[in-house]
């Protein structure tokens, strides 16, 4: 490690040193990648001393740690974040300038680690950022997928997936520790023996294993000198495989076995919300959880720590059900390896876990067939049965022999196939169960887990999600950050409630003008990005209307399409004069799960609508649709700061929280949204008059569902809606071929599970209000500023405080 590069000269020296000694090149013959790698190393070296110091302090004076267990971390690019956290961002820029290098070009060289699908993975990344910033000891545990979320391309308007080989140029951010590999066992059977005291002992005799190799990543706190760790596990063949290669004589077969082992961490499953019950996915889940528990517990044992008090050292937070197999794994370690009695082990286990649920969709609740679980993890299945027996005994004790209730609550479902309900296992095992927004937590109690809520009302709690202001304001929107800091000081970056101090500035004409300049600047930056990245041109004078999120029917991208097609239809049929229309660019960004037909058809429809609308001269450039491919964190950082209007239009009761909604509000976009997820709380904070609410409420949705919903009646009863759907059905967006979008049209007319047609009229009215409000520039700007000033609550720092107070009972390290 060189001298800490705290001056520009020092930084230049260190950077050149890294270029020479690590990349093996001189400045004059270095590639952009060389320069990027050297810059990354320079920052890394600076953070290294702090990382080691954080680790040393924890070892010498152990604090209770958060073990965040998540199958996904959607980190986004690291370079800017680590420079910001270390306070080196300006120094680095100047140093590179002196070397004749454009900082922005180096930043653009980084391939973002996309080790997550969407909201759930990005939330994990925000949480670990906040914990480091708040000085809370945390280890994030997860999987080092060799391929992250696929790269989306469009071919003839249809989604085509490409592998995301994010590691192909090497990642400067990871530290591999093959010497700390952990063996993970699978398969086989169990054997019972009785010891000299007459106690039954169970031994698991597995029949294959893999090696988990930890890769450590720095998680720097913002300007506080703390660096926590994210530890991602990579699967390799163990020595046993090597031995097989040596002994079997069948070299090719043995190498195949190695490939088999390495498959476990090969690729992120790109489905979110529809579990496929794939064996490899269960292998992934057990793999990372077994490595993580072993890692933490081995450290405690080394110190001679008494595992009866394990909860004084760790709380494992289960990020949805994906890591729930950790529950029987901890039981197995305590009972089979540490000689605990079952009850004793269960008492410890219950104190060491808490569970966050991220969904309400019944089909998104994971279940594993008993046949599959028993084959892969026979000992764990036994323990799950034992946990279930003890639990159902408690149910009977509390509610009498209400066998209907017992069957409803059993961790084991009998139909359609005997399987383990992972959400129930998590609820039974967890010291706390939380939803991710107030409405969601209430629905979780009332609709998903009502029996459990009745049994343990105190177990249930809410922690509304949040987002990190470091990445999503300070880094992504530097010009807004400067404007804010010039007005109220810099303290807001890690104390976001201080944005309240901006409220009076909404009345300040000069500030409003400055705010509009910030938006204009961000739109220009976005225009450049879209031009370079996608060859898309956008009109910077348009209202920028943005809907970016995973493609899912419940999120209702199709409702947004109906809005666009209605406007288009009104214009081309002469009912609407383009001269009277506010110019609007509608931006979509969305990936569909590769096997999700309706989602992929919707992507196709959006692209075809874009093609037709954008090319039609009758529109006079007033309506433009842009659908850049491969929406990811990096693009979000450019798009969100430029947005005027944020589309949060899910059917009420379906979106657990949403977090994009928070990012938009904090960057001064106004929301058009339903009363769903965290939208409810955003509206409460920013005020009704600064939010465009529409659509049914959750109870109205439930009522309509119960009465029987008939989408056809909305189609027949609304001329504009009928016109829009008929236009799509006519082949106007598919070169006259009526078959292309027939599945979408017939879904609207006959099923429409997420009731887009029922909310259409209300949505159109709300959009009319948007249009009118936007015309009053000053009023709109005031609202935008108030959105920012009143959204400080949605910092993930606040979410972390809530987890600490309600669930973890950990303390920041002073």
Catalytic residues: 358, 549-550, 555, 659, 663
3-state DSSP call for residue 650? Answer: coil
Closest CA to 536 of 608, 591, 585, 583: 585
Is 80 a binding residue for ligand 26V by CB under 6 A? The answer is no
CB of 117 to ligand 26V, least distance (A): 5
Shorter beta-carbon distance to ligand 26V: residue 664 or 774: 664
The position carrying tokens 């876990």 is: 353
Query: Are 122 and 74 a contacting pair, CB within 8 Å?
Result: yes
Is 657 a binding residue for ligand 26V by CB under 6 A? The answer is yes
Closest CA to 72 of 230, 227, 225: 230
Per-residue x/- mask for ligand 26V, residues 373 to 392, rule CB under 6 A?
--------------------
Give the Cβ contact number of residue 493 at 10 Å. Answer: 22
Query: Are 155 and 594 a contacting pair, CB within 8 Å?
Result: no
Q: Which residue in 310, 395, 436, 651 binds ligand 26V (CB under 6 A)? A: 436
3-state DSSP call for residue 635? Answer: helix
Shorter beta-carbon distance to ligand 26V: residue 596 or 780: 596
CB of 269 to ligand 26V, least distance (A): 5
Q: Which residue in 140, 172, 214, 275 binds ligand 26V (CB under 6 A)? A: 275
CB of 462 to ligand 26V, least distance (A): 12
CB of 515 to ligand 26V, least distance (A): 27
3-state DSSP call for residue 371? Answer: helix
Shorter beta-carbon distance to ligand 26V: residue 271 or 570: 271
Shorter beta-carbon distance to ligand 26V: residue 314 or 436: 436
Q: Which residue in 93, 161, 262, 271 binds ligand 26V (CB under 6 A)? A: 271
Shorter beta-carbon distance to ligand 26V: residue 358 or 379: 358
Spatial neighbors of 450 by CB under 8 A, at least 6 apart, are none
Shorter beta-carbon distance to ligand 26V: residue 715 or 793: 793
In angstroms, rounded to a whole number, what is the distance separating the alpha carbons of residues 300 and 648? 45
CB of 363 to ligand 26V, least distance (A): 9
Spatial neighbors of 188 by CB under 8 A, at least 6 apart, are 204, 205, 206, 207, 208, 378
Q: Which residue in 123, 325, 467, 590 binds ligand 26V (CB under 6 A)? A: 123
CB of 769 to ligand 26V, least distance (A): 25
Query: Are 808 and 354 a contacting pair, CB within 8 Å?
Result: yes
In angstroms, rounded to a whole number, what is the distance separating the alpha carbons of residues 423 and 410? 11
Shorter beta-carbon distance to ligand 26V: residue 172 or 270: 270
The residues in 82-121 that bind ligand 26V, with binding defined as CB under 6 A, are 117-120
Is 212 a binding residue for ligand 26V by CB under 6 A? The answer is no
Length of the chain equals: 814
CB of 280 to ligand 26V, least distance (A): 11
Shorter beta-carbon distance to ligand 26V: residue 439 or 564: 439
3-state DSSP call for residue 734? Answer: coil
Stretch that binds ligand 26V, among 531-539, 649-657, 718-726, 805-813 (CB under 6 A): 649-657
Is 138 a binding residue for ligand 26V by CB under 6 A? The answer is no
Stretch that binds ligand 26V, among 51-59, 139-147, 264-272, 292-300 (CB under 6 A): 264-272
Closest CA to 530 of 625, 618, 612: 625
Q: Which residue in 273, 529, 671, 810 binds ligand 26V (CB under 6 A)? A: 273
Closest CA to 743 of 608, 558, 598: 598
Query: Are 116 and 143 a contacting pair, CB within 8 Å?
Result: no
In angstroms, rounded to a whole number, what is the distance separating the alpha carbons of residues 343 and 2? 54
Give the Cβ contact number of residue 481 at 10 Å. Answer: 20
* 8-state DSSP, 583: P
Tokens found for residue 401: 């022999």
Size of the site for ligand 26V (CB under 6 A): 23
Give the Cβ contact number of residue 473 at 10 Å. Answer: 26
CB of 710 to ligand 26V, least distance (A): 28
The residues in 665-684 that bind ligand 26V, with binding defined as CB under 6 A, are 677
Q: Which residue in 54, 244, 465, 632 binds ligand 26V (CB under 6 A)? A: 465
Tokens found for residue 542: 């348009």
Query: Are 584 and 623 a contacting pair, CB within 8 Å?
Result: yes
Is 655 a binding residue for ligand 26V by CB under 6 A? The answer is yes
CB of 681 to ligand 26V, least distance (A): 12
Shorter beta-carbon distance to ligand 26V: residue 123 or 538: 123
In angstroms, rounded to a whole number, what is the distance separating the alpha carbons of residues 34 and 30? 6
- What is the contact surface with ligand 26V in residues (CB under 6 A)? 117-120, 123, 269, 271-273, 275, 320, 358-359, 364, 366, 436, 465, 655-659, 677
């Amino acid at each position: 490690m060189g001298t800490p590069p705290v001056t520009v000269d020092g930084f230049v020296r260190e950077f050149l040193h890294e270029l020479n000694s690590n990349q093996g090149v001189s400045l004059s013959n270095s590639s952009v990648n060389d320069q990027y790698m050297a810059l990354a190393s320079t920052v890394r070296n600076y953070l290294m001393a702090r990382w080691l110091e954080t680790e040393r302090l924890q070892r010498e004076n152990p604090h209770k740690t958060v073990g965040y267990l998540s199958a996904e971390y959607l980190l986004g690019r690291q370079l800017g974040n680590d420079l910001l956290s270390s306070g080196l961002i300006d120094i680095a820029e100047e140093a590179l300038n002196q070397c004749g290098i454009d900082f922005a070009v180096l930043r653009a060289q980084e391939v973002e680690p996309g080790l997550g699908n969407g909201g759930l993975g990005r939330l994990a990344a925000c949480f670990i950022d906040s914990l480091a910033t708040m000085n809370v000891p945390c280890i994030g545990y997860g999987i080092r997928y060799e391929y992250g979320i696929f790269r989306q391309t469009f071919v003839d308007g249809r989604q085509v997936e490409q592998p995301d080989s994010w590691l192909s140029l090497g990642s400067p951010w990871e530290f591999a520790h093959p010497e700390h590999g952990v063996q993970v066992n699978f398969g086989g059977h169990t054997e019972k023996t009785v010891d000299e005291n007459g106690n039954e002992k169970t031994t698991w005799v597995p029949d294959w294993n893999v090696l988990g190799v930890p890769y450590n990543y720095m998680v720097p706190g913002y300007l506080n000198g703390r660096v926590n760790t994210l530890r991602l596990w990579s699967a390799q063949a163990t020595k046993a495989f090597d031995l097989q290669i040596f002994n079997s004589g069948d070299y090719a077969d043995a190498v195949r076995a190695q490939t088999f082992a390495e498959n476990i961490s090969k690729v992120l499953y790109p489905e979110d919300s529809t579990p496929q019950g794939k064996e490899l996915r269960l292998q992934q889940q057990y793999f990372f959880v077994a490595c993580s528990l072993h890692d933490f517990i081995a450290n405690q044992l080394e110190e001679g720590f008494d595992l009866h008090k394990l909860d004084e050292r760790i709380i494992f937070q289960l990020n949805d059900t994906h890591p729930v197999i950790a529950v029987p794994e901890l039981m197995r370690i305590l009972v089979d390896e540490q000689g605990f009695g079952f009850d004793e082990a269960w008492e410890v286990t219950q104190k060491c876990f808490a569970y966050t649920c991220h969904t309400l969709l019944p089909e998104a609740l994971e279940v594993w067939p008993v046949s599959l679980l028993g084959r892969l993890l026979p000992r764990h299945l036994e323990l799950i049965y034992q946990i279930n027996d003890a639990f159902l005994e408690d149910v009977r004790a509390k509610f009498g022999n209400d066998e209907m209730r017992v069957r409803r609550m059993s961790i084991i479902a009998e139909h359609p196939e005997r399987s383990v309900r992972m959400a129930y296992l998590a609820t039974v095992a967890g010291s706390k169960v939380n939803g991710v927004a107030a409405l969601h937590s209430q629905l979780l109690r009332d609709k998903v887990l009502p029996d459990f809520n009745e049994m343990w009302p105190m177990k249930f709690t809410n922690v509304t999600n949040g987002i990190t202001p470091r990445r999503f304001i300070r880094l992504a929107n530097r010009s807004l950050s400067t404007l804010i800091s010039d007005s109220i000081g810099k303290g807001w970056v890690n104390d976001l409630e201080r944005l309240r101090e901006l409220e009076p500035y909404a009345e300040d004409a000069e500030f409003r003008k400055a705010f509009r300049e910030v938006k204009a600047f961000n739109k220009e930056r976005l225009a450049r990005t879209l031009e370079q990245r996608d060859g898309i041109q956008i009109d910077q004078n348009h209202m920028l209307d943005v809907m970016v999120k995973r493609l899912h029917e419940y999120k209702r991208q199709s409702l947004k399409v109906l809005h666009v097609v209605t406007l288009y239809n009104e214009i081309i049929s002469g009912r609407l004069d383009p001269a009277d229309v506010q110019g609007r660019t509608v931006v979509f960004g969305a990936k569909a799960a590769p096997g999700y037909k309706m989602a992929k058809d919707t992507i196709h429809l959006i692209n075809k609508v874009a093609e037709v609308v954008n090319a039609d001269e009758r529109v006079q450039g007033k309506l433009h649709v842009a659908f850049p491919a491969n929406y990811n964190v990096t693009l979000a950082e450019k798009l969100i700061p430029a947005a005027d209007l944020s589309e949060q239009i899910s059917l009420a009761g379906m979106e657990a929280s949403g977090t994009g909604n928070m990012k938009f509000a904090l960057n001064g976009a106004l929301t058009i949204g339903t009363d769903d997820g965290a939208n409810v709380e955003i509206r409460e904070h920013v005020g009704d008059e600064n939010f465009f609410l529409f659509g049914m409420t959750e109870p109205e949705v439930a009522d309509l569902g119960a009465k029987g919903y008939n989408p056809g009646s909305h189609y027949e009863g609304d001329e504009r809606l009928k016109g829009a759907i008929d236009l799509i059905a006519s082949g106007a967006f598919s070169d006259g071929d009526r078959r292309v979008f027939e599945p979408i049209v017939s879904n609207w007319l006959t099923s429409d599970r997420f009731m887009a047609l029922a909310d259409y009229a209300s949505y159109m009215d709300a959009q009319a209000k948007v249009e009118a409000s936007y015309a009053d520039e000053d009023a709109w700007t005031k609202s935008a500023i108030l959105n920012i000033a009143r959204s400080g609550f949605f910092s993930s720092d606040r979410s972390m405080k809530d987890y600490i107070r309600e669930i973890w009972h950990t303390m920041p390290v002073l």
